[in-house]
Amino acid sequence: MTYRPRPPSILSRMPWWLLAIGLLFVLGVWGIASSDSYAQIFRVLSGGIVTTLWVTAVAFAAATFIGLLVALARTSGNRVLREIAAFYVEIIRGIPVLVFLFYVAFVGAPWAVSGVNWLLGPFGSAITIRDFDFVWRAILALTICYSAFIAEIFRAGIESVDRGQIEAARALGFTRWKCFRLIIFPQALRTILPPLANDFVSMIKDSALVSALGVQDITQLGKVYSSGTFQFFETYNVVAFLYLTMTITLSLLVRLLEKRLRNDHRH
């Protein structure tokens, strides 16, 4: 009778770091459920989860669209477009996110309001800076900042496609748009998706910076609650737990996506 070793169990194949994170998650849930103090903090901070995810989702969608346009300009045959796109990327990437957030909120927003009022002139009702909500200022700042990074991701994906395939498609009479849609983008997507998903995780963490503008996200609610109750240890434990839950969950999904894309590429 031939001996066949038993396949390793899922638990034995699971990385130790993932088991440790799972244990921390269970302890965190148990701590919140078993303590009235932690449960109260969680109820207060949970209202900021929607704001955090809303700001991140809207800013990331807009940044992805702008980043794609900038990447197309950077890979364009027109030198003027390439230089303008390169200038945009280098300038935006060289400014810290928090500094740019303040610049957009307190410099860019007043300029924008003044410009709109000038365009409307006597034919429209004047708007004030208070009409430009801080949430939208934060979304605008994150959009501009991340569009520069995402543009580089798209550019790398586009340039990873073999030029021979593009030249062959053009020789067959494909238009630039048809060549991009049918040849370039489907192949570039395998290269683009993993770093793009990682940027979404990074934006969730960077969205905590919007609390500097008073936006009622998780960090801001934690700051206000801890300053009123002096429960700094408990409050920031819950803040960290909420961010870790969101980012680690998304990071694991990104790993699964990368693994699936690698397997698809092999087949």
Model's pTM, two decimal places?
0.83
* Cα 49 → chain centroid: 15
Alpha-carbon radius of gyration of the chain: 24
Side-chain-side CA neighbours of 96 within 13 Å: the count stands at: 4
DSSP assignment letter at 105: I
- Copy the structure tokens of residue 67: 């980043």
With beta carbons less than 8 A apart as the criterion, state whether 107 and 135 touch.
no
Task: For residue 82, report the phi and psi dihedrals to the nearest 5 degrees.
Answer: -60, -45
Distance from C-alpha of 108 to C-alpha of 101, rounded to nearest angstrom? 10
One CATH from 1.20.20.10, 1.10.3720.10, 3.60.21.10, 1.20.140.10 for 46-258: 1.10.3720.10
pLDDT tens for each residue of the chain, 267 residues long: 455 556 555 555 667 777 888 888 888 889 888 889 889 999 999 889 999 999 999 999 999 999 999 998 998 888 999 999 999 999 999 999 999 999 998 988 888 888 877 777 666 666 777 777 888 999 999 999 999 999 999 888 888 777 777 777 777 777 777 777 777 777 777 788 888 888 998 999 998 988 888 888 999 999 999 998 888 999 999 999 999 999 988 888 888 877 776 666 555
Instruction: Say what the pLDDT of residue 16 is.
Output: 79
Instruction: Say what the pLDDT of residue 13 is.
Output: 65
- Copy the structure tokens of residue 222: 């934690």
What do you get for the CA distance between the two ends of the chain, in Å? 36
The structural domains of the chain, with segments of one domain joined by +, span 46-258
Instruction: Say what the pLDDT of residue 60 is.
Output: 94
Closest CA to 150 of 189, 98, 192: 192
Task: For residue 96, report the phi and psi dihedrals to the nearest 5 degrees.
Answer: -60, 145
Max CA distance (Å), the chain: 95
Instruction: Give 217: exposed, middle or buried? Use CB within 10 Å, 0-12, 13-18, 19+.
Output: buried
Distance from C-alpha of 185 to C-alpha of 179, rounded to nearest angstrom? 9
